[in-house]
Structure 1
């Protein structure tokens, strides 16, 4: 185990886990964007249980006009449902989507509820398009949208949403958690416990899956590839981190699962 592998993983986590405001408060929104309430706050499926706590804080702090949870059943759902059952036995009975599961936990733990659920999406792309369909269908004002996603997928969700909304829509990022990897006993460990957190190799795999997707080349999801995302330039230090981690863990590079592709 090299002494830089933890730093490289954390570099990927910081890059992928885009965060636009320091705290989820009206004051932070006003200081950064000149608004005290966003029109819409969205918690996306694909995140871990910690995302529910973030949504609860947002509702309690009254930072949005409308609260939406989006998520059907995708490549992360089996793990999420298992961890939810371990934390809240019986919570997933009769539930088939991540949005419903998050909503059930929000109710059980905090006695809170979102305004809307979207339960059919299976991947990052239709998470966004189905969300926008719901907003259009329900005629929800959405000039500002705050999105909460797993650290590994936060940046890609941002790039996907910006592909589909006009430039006058303010998109604000706030990931569901931050994870710091450290070296401990010649192995990798999380510095702090995070509710429902992925096993470390799963977390690494999620991060490694992101860079090839957001890289704007013929193999990626940017305009030069499948055109799912807006363009982004990946910093040199992030590519160096990706190269180091992928060389150390080549078996963890995640390929897209066609089972959850948009139809």
Structure 2
């Protein structure tokens, strides 16, 4: 339930630009490439060296992808996009978190557009909230989110599906989703806390699932 909630997917209209966030989810690249081909639009890749970079490097090596690691996430994703046949690629390679993804992307866009945001599904909802805040001063901007996948939670790993490569261990995935719901709280990253994002309505059933998972996680440890 929490995974589906965090992996925000809006009804998609034709965008003017795909904005792909760097992350450890290599599957994001092909989803972005498909959107570029379908709508005949360019892509902006946002991502420097952050907390997910080492996980991206591990994923690249584990899957045997012939692309250099140890670089900003945007550089790795750009190379993979070009290999998928996408030529119109712009990069922003200084951001280290969702807020900076949004802020630094905003600095590169000076006219209202429809942006299709693609992010690690555990961070898709928070990323959308960050973009809403950063683009509030550009009326006419339309923001659409499309998480690249809805996480499949298996007995020993989490990924795109039972026959797909692992993206997260179950323990890491549990930690990530717990952290995301915590950050979305009005008292943490919201208006009553650090004020990084506007108020996000957390559905009661998601909060209940979060509290059950949190209690189980505390007991487990």
TM-score by length of 2: 0.89
Question: Structure 2: how far apart are the matches of 1:101 and 1:251?
Answer: 39
Question: Structure 1: how far apart are the matches of 2:157 and 2:37?
Answer: 35
Would you say the 8 A contact 2:157–2:166 is kept in 1?
no
Match 2:124 to one of 148, 154, 157: 154
Partner of 1:100: 75
The alpha-carbon distance between structure 1 residues 131 and 239, as it changes in their structure 2 partners (threshold 3 A), is same
Where 2:123 maps in the other structure, the secondary structure is helix
Partner of 1:209: 179
Cα RMSD of the aligned pairs, angstroms, is 2.3
Residue 206 (structure 2) pairs with residue 238 (structure 1): yes
Question: Structure 1: how far apart are the matches of 2:108 and 2:81?
Answer: 21
The alpha-carbon distance between structure 1 residues 189 and 144, as it changes in their structure 2 partners (threshold 3 A), is closer
The alpha-carbon distance between structure 1 residues 13 and 89, as it changes in their structure 2 partners (threshold 3 A), is closer
> What's the offset of the Cα at 1:230?
1.3
Question: Structure 2: how far apart are the matches of 1:92 and 1:216?
Answer: 40
> What's the offset of the Cα at 1:73?
0.9
Partner of 1:80: 56
1:173-196 deviations in Å (ceiling 9; x for gaps)? 1002111325x5xx6766524456
Partner of 1:24: none
Where 2:167 maps in the other structure, the secondary structure is coil
Question: Structure 1: how far apart are the matches of 2:18 and 2:220?
Answer: 32
1:1-263 superposed matches below 5 A: 11-21=1-11, 28-29=12-13, 37-62=14-39, 64=41, 66-93=42-69, 96-108=71-83, 110-136=84-110, 141-166=111-136, 168-182=140-154, 184=155, 191-195=161-165, 197-217=167-187, 220-250=188-218
Would you say the 8 A contact 2:23–2:52 is kept in 1?
yes
| Larger Rg belongs to | 1
Question: Structure 1: how far apart are the matches of 2:219 and 2:133?
Answer: 31
Would you say the 8 A contact 1:179–1:192 is kept in 2?
no
Partner of 1:7: none
| Structure 2 segments unaligned to the other structure (5+ residues) | none
1:206-240 deviations in Å (ceiling 9; x for gaps)? 111111111101xx111111111011111111111
> What's the offset of the Cα at 1:79?
0.8
Q: How many residues align?
A: 218
Question: Structure 2: how far apart are the matches of 1:104 and 1:80?
Answer: 13
Would you say the 8 A contact 1:48–1:197 is kept in 2?
yes
> What's the offset of the Cα at 1:81?
0.8
TM-score by length of 1: 0.76
> What's the offset of the Cα at 1:86?
2.3
> What's the offset of the Cα at 1:252?
9.8
